[in-house]
Amino acid sequence: MFLHGVETLEQDGGLRPIALLDASTIGLIGTAPGAAAASAASLSLGSAAANTAIALTAIATGTSGNAITLALVDPGAVTSALAVSTAGTAITVSLATDAAGLVISTASEVIAALGADAGAVALVTATDGAGSDGSGIVKRTLAPQALTGGAAEPFPLDTPVLIAGSRTEAAGLGATGTLPAAIDAIFDQAGARIVVVRVAEGADAAGTLANVIGGIDGSGNNTGLQAFLDARAKVKVRPRILIAPGFSENVAVVADLIGIADRLRAVVIADGPNTTDAEAITFRENFGSQRVMVVDPWVRVFDTLTQTETDQPPSARAAGVIVRTDHEKGFWWSPSNKVISGITGTSRAVSFALSDPLSRANLLNENEVTTIVQQDGWRLWGNRSTTADPLWAFLAVRRTADVIEDSIEAAQLWAMDRPFSGQLLKDIRDSVQEFLRGMVARGAILGGRVWLDPELNTQVTMKAGQLFVNYDFEPPAPLERLTFNAYRNGDYYSDLIAQAAA
């Protein structure tokens, strides 16, 4: 194109910053039969003193009722009949007039007319307002009046709902079921973002368990645990720490959670059976996943509703400890040896001493069961997942790798579908290298490097639109065993003699 002048062509090559993705959102599933229901919109017109009060309530609950309007219209003509018409969600009542053109419709007559119109009946119910007998002559409205106060169900069944660190947001769950206590347990440790999935209580324990496990309903919607997979689409966050307090002592629940955790790059905090150490170890043997941590025994908590101490599953508090550790130290820190708040003890005693290999705590840890010990407060004690692969034995290492891999992947949208060029390859490589360098500076990894392997990136693969970028890194393992080598040294006697002779 011809140009006699000056132009600017923007060049967008260069490094792209890689944002560190969240690692600390909890996914929580459970029951809350006392959860708040959806509310219907309503409208009050007139006054009780004049006996003209009319109360309208939307038929449908939820926010849709807030779109309904009602107008009481003076037709401006003589001897007009009372009439109701609807257009969409707009209801218009043309009031009756006498021979002089004065409005003569009473509140009771308006209510009756609304109840006789099919369009209005589909939208609202109309009754006398409190303290009114409906005998008063109504007045026209200056403008259509909207119903207000309609609200959706705050925690619909089998639907992920985000609680962004506020106990107030959780109030809609009520006080019964497993969810309210779990929310309280988490917030005892730290403010946290929690993706809540509420399921219905079944006719019996087996029915409730089936609702928790869930699946896909007849409409193709995810239910139960599977609803965690919808979180990113519906609430824009991905749960990374999955818990099911009150249900995850069941092998079937944990087995399904593992599959979901694999897809989400999440971890599962499972509750042990809360019986004996031997049975806790047996329970752990059901799993071989680097994404599962089993915690046993349960914890003792003072219940303000019953005003007694009760046993509660430890998973919610363990998840809260992980979140607090992430916030205060970093996602690469182990939650082990961190204080658990809000508990008065454990359901059974767990013997512990730092240097006692025969303690019950050490027995549980040796068999990949995290436990709770008393040492300057009640502490979560244990680093290990249930995997048989020693490379991924530590849960903190697994979580660190997840965050790094997710962050690198999520930051590459800009590069997709661009034509190959030397600048493109350099920008991808150097962006990842800069990210790894930042992770080293923070202490999240010990080192990391990026390279393009010519044996993988051949003419054939690149003609097919594929690029292979290799990188390595190493998360820091937690210090699990500290050994001091102590020696006797008789030479110090010689020093003693020398001092005395001086």
| DSSP assigned state of 412 | T
Q: Is residue 92 part of a domain?
A: yes
Same domain, 120 and 222: no
**Average pLDDT over every residue of 476-493:** 96
Q: Please tell me the distance from the alpha carbon of residue 17 to that of residue 424, in angstroms, as a whole number.
A: 14
Q: What is the sign of the dihedral through the CA atoms of 225, 273, 262 and 476? A: positive
pLDDT value of residue 55: 97
Same domain, 312 and 382: yes
Residue 19 burial (CB count, 10 A): 10
329 falls in which pLDDT band (50, 70, 90)?
Answer: very high
Model confidence at 33: pLDDT above 80: yes
What pLDDT digit, counting tens, does each position of 330-352 carry?
Answer: 999 999 999 999 999 999 999 99
Q: Is residue 14 part of a domain?
A: no
pLDDT value of residue 305: 79
Same domain, 206 and 344: yes
Q: How open is the CA angle 207-266-333, to the nearest 5 degrees?
A: 130
Q: Is residue 60 part of a domain?
A: yes
Tell me the two tokens of residue 57: 């309530």
58 beta partners: 124
Give the range of the structural domain holding residue 61, as residue numbers without chain letter: 40-146
Q: Is residue 403 part of a domain?
A: no
| DSSP assigned state of 388 | S
Residue 30: enclosing H or E segment and its boundaries? strand 26-31
Residues 253, 212: contact at Cβ < 8 Å? Answer: yes
Same domain, 220 and 354: yes
Ramachandran region of residue 235, left (φ > 0), alpha (ψ -120 to 50) or beta?
Answer: alpha
242 falls in which pLDDT band (50, 70, 90)?
Answer: very high
What pLDDT digit, counting tens, does each position of 452-474 carry?
Answer: 999 999 999 999 999 999 999 99
Model confidence at 35: pLDDT above 80: yes
**Average pLDDT over every residue of 197-218:** 97
pLDDT value of residue 1: 84
Q: Is residue 77 part of a domain?
A: yes
pLDDT value of residue 8: 84
pLDDT value of residue 299: 98
Q: Is residue 5 part of a domain?
A: no
Same domain, 184 and 120: no
End position of a domain, from candidates 87, 113, 146: 146
Q: Is residue 212 part of a domain?
A: yes
193 falls in which pLDDT band (50, 70, 90)?
Answer: very high
Same domain, 175 and 309: yes
For the chain, the domain total comes to 3
Same domain, 368 and 269: yes
37 falls in which pLDDT band (50, 70, 90)?
Answer: very high
pLDDT value of residue 9: 82
Model confidence at 328: pLDDT above 90: yes
Beta strands in 291-400 (DSSP E): 292-295, 299-303, 308-312, 338-339, 345-346, 369-374, 378-381
Model confidence at 267: pLDDT above 90: yes
10 falls in which pLDDT band (50, 70, 90)?
Answer: confident
Same domain, 281 and 429: no
Same domain, 136 and 239: no
Q: Please tell me the distance from the alpha carbon of residue 67 to that of residue 146, in angstroms, as a whole number.
A: 7
163 falls in which pLDDT band (50, 70, 90)?
Answer: very high
Angle between helices 315-328 and 179-189 (to 10 degrees): 30
pLDDT value of residue 476: 98
pLDDT value of residue 502: 77
Same domain, 102 and 168: no
Q: Which residue do the tokens 């991808």 mark?
A: 428
Model confidence at 142: pLDDT above 80: no
Residues 54, 45: contact at Cβ < 8 Å? Answer: yes
Residue 169 burial (CB count, 10 A): 16
pLDDT value of residue 501: 86
Q: Is 395 helix (H, G, I), strand (E, B) or coil?
A: helix
What pLDDT digit, counting tens, does each position of 289-325 carry?
Answer: 999 999 999 999 998 878 899 999 999 999 999 999 9
Query: CB under 8 Å to 299, separation ≥6 — which residues?
Result: 311, 312, 313, 314, 317, 340, 343, 345, 346, 347, 372, 378
Closest CA to 250 of 283, 224, 281: 283
End position of a domain, from candidates 396, 431, 451: 396
484 falls in which pLDDT band (50, 70, 90)?
Answer: very high
Same domain, 268 and 386: yes
Q: Is residue 481 part of a domain?
A: yes
What pLDDT digit, counting tens, does each position of 371-411 carry?
Answer: 999 999 999 999 999 999 999 999 999 999 999 999 999 99
Same domain, 181 and 242: yes
pLDDT value of residue 140: 87
pLDDT value of residue 304: 82
Q: How far is CA 22 from the centre of its chain?
A: 12
pLDDT value of residue 166: 86
**Average pLDDT over every residue of 115-140:** 96
We report the CATH number of the domain holding residue 170 as: 3.40.50
Q: Please tell me the distance from the alpha carbon of residue 58 to that of residue 69, in angstroms, as a whole number.
A: 10
Residues 384, 392: contact at Cβ < 8 Å? Answer: no
pLDDT value of residue 43: 97
Query: CB under 8 Å to 137, separation ≥6 — which residues?
Result: 52, 103, 104, 105, 106
Lowest mean pLDDT, pick from 165-169, 197-201, 325-329: 165-169
pLDDT value of residue 122: 97
DSSP assignment of 178-230 equals: SHHHHHHHHHHH---EEEEEEE---SSHHHHHHHHH-EE-TTS-EEGGGGGGG
pLDDT value of residue 391: 97
Model confidence at 477: pLDDT above 90: yes
Mean pLDDT over the full length of the chain: 96
End position of a domain, from candidates 367, 396, 425: 396
